[in-house]
Structure formats: C-alpha cells, structure tokens
C-alpha cells in the first residue's frame, strides 16, 4: 500500500527510491555550496543563507513530483499563487543567487545531477573570482559619505580639499546647511577612498581644520530604485 507514496497511480512516470534520494541529497549539498559561495567576503543575513541552502532541494522535490503529471503541475501553480511575498529592497547579487539556487534545484529534479554540479562549480567559481579580484570595488566598498561640521569663521569650504584629496580618488561637495543658529555649517561630501582603513587618519587631520567639531564617515546609501 505504501508504494503509492513513491509511484503515481495516475501516470506511468515513476520515481525510484534511489533516484529520489540522489536528487534531493545532491540538491542539498549543492545548496550548501552556494550558500558558502554567497557568504564569501560579503555581508549577508542568516535568513537569506538558509533560503539559498534549502531552495535547491525544495525545487528538486517539486520538479520530481510534477514530472509528467499535468494535474499536479496545475495544483502546484495554484498553491504558489496563494503565497504572499513582501516587496523588500534587495541587491542584484541576491536576486542572482535566488535564480541560481532555483536553477540548480531544477536540474537536480530532472535527474541531471552531474550537470547541476557543473553549473554550481562554474558559476560559483566565477563569483569567487570576482570577489577576490575586487571587480566593481571602487564604487561599492570604497564609496563613502563624509559629514563634517565647521565653524562660521571658516572663510572658504575649499580649505578642506587638500586634506580630503590625500585620502580619496574622487570627492564632491554634495550639500551645505547651517546649524546652531547659523554659527555652524554642516558639509556633506560624496567620495571614493584610495584605500580601505584610512578613515581614522583622515578624521584626525580634519579635526585640526574644523576645531574638533563633529565628523562622520559612513558608507554611501544606495536608493531603492538602484540595483
């Protein structure tokens, strides 16, 4: 009686115990490999890592169950239509890894385990190479926002430029506003650092120029419409 758990009674397509285990276990292992690749030298959240690890196995099971069964495919599509997804701002890299996880699970579910391994190695390896070589580093990891408060006695704002230029490859005065009943000015600069870790030296030099008033260097914020 338990054969119906693995063999469909409405179609001739069958899934053996061995094929099912090989596909699911392979998808789980490849999902873990993708999660490790995603975490390599990058910021991440625990929930996204778990999702990346489990998604290939879930997709593989779904593909094996609906293979050759139109009724099951329609039922799965209806089930997915009931799921509500939150529209949370994400990075392009996150979207790419979600699609990669689904692709690996799809290939495993169709029985092409060796091809799934090849896809994981090639695309995952390319991601590692890009992370190590630092492609796109100038506009992401070194992009900073400098917020500095200066007294009204400072005659020209460009007196700070020589100090900023020593530590940046590019800087631009983005905004100026008054504070403290007009006795202070708050300047905001967008800039790219020459090297990581030089923020403290830069702040120490700027403190001598602005009378030891408030200085802050933060990562540049990316708006929700950017990807």
Contacts of 110 (CB under 8 A, 6+ apart): 63, 67
Question: What range defines the domain where residue 105 resides?
Answer: 2-133
How many whole angstroms separate alpha carbon 174 and alpha carbon 1?
73
Domain count, the chain: 2
Is residue 58 situated within a structural domain?
yes
Residue 226 belongs to a domain: no
- Which residue has better confidence, 192 or 88? 192
Confidence of residue 75 (pLDDT cuts 50, 70, 90): low
The reply to whether 143 and 123 lie within a common domain is no
Position 215 confidence tier, pLDDT thresholds 50, 70, 90: very high
Final residue of a domain: which of 133, 162, 180?
A: 133
Write down the pLDDT at residue 70: 63
Residue 17 · residue 109 · CB < 8 Å: no
Please compute Rg for the chain using Cα positions.
27
Task: Mark whether 152 and 109 lie in a shared domain.
Answer: no
Domain's final residue, options 133, 158, 188: 133
Domain assignment of residue 225, yes or no: no
- pLDDT higher for 205 or 84? 205
Q: How far apart are CA 54 and CA 34, in angstroms?
A: 10
Q: Is 215 helix (H, G, I), strand (E, B) or coil?
A: strand
**For position 68, what pLDDT does the model report?**
62
Q: Element (H or E) spanning 217, and its range? A: strand 215-219
How sure is the predictor about 210, in pLDDT bands with cuts at 50, 70 and 90? Answer: confident
Task: Considering only residues 166 and 81, tell me which one the structure prediction assigns the higher pLDDT.
Answer: 166
Q: Do residues 31 and 55 lie in contact, with contact meaning Cβ atoms separated by under 8 Å? A: yes
Segment 44-67, tens digit of pLDDT: 889 889 999 999 999 899 888 887
Task: Select from 106, 133, 160 the last residue of a domain.
Answer: 133
Give the confidence band of 9 by pLDDT, cuts at 50, 70, 90.
Answer: very low
The token pair that represents 113 in the structure block: 């385990």
Same domain, 153 and 123: no
């Amino acid at each position: 009686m338990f054969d119906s758990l693995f063999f469909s009674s409405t179609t001739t397509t069958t899934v053996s115990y061995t094929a099912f285990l090989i596909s699911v276990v392979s998808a789980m292992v490849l999902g873990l490999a993708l999660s490790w690749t995603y975490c390599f030298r990058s910021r991440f959240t625990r929930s996204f890592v778990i999702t990346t690890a489990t998604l290939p196995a879930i997709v593989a099971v779904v593909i094996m169950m609906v293979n050759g069964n139109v009724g099951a495919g329609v039922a799965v599509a209806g089930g997915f239509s009931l799921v509500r997804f939150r529209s949370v701002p994400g990075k392009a890299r996150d979207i790419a890894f979600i699609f990669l996880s689904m692709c690996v699970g799809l290939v495993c579910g169709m029985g092409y385990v060796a091809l799934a391994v090849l896809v994981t190695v090639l695309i995952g390896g390319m991601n590692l190479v890009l992370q190590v070589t630092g492609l796109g580093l100038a506009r992401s990891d070194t992009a900073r926002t400098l917020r500095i408060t200066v007294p009204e006695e400072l005659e020209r704002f460009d007196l700070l430029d020589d100090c900023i230029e020593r530590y940046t490859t590019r800087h631009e005065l983005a905004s100026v506003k008054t504070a403290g009943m007009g006795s202070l000015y708050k300047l905001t600069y967008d800039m790219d650092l020459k090297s990581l870790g030089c923020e403290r030296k830069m702040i120490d030099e700027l403190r001598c120029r602005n009378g030891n008033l408030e200085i802050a260097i933060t990562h540049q914020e990316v708006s929700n419409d950017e990807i």
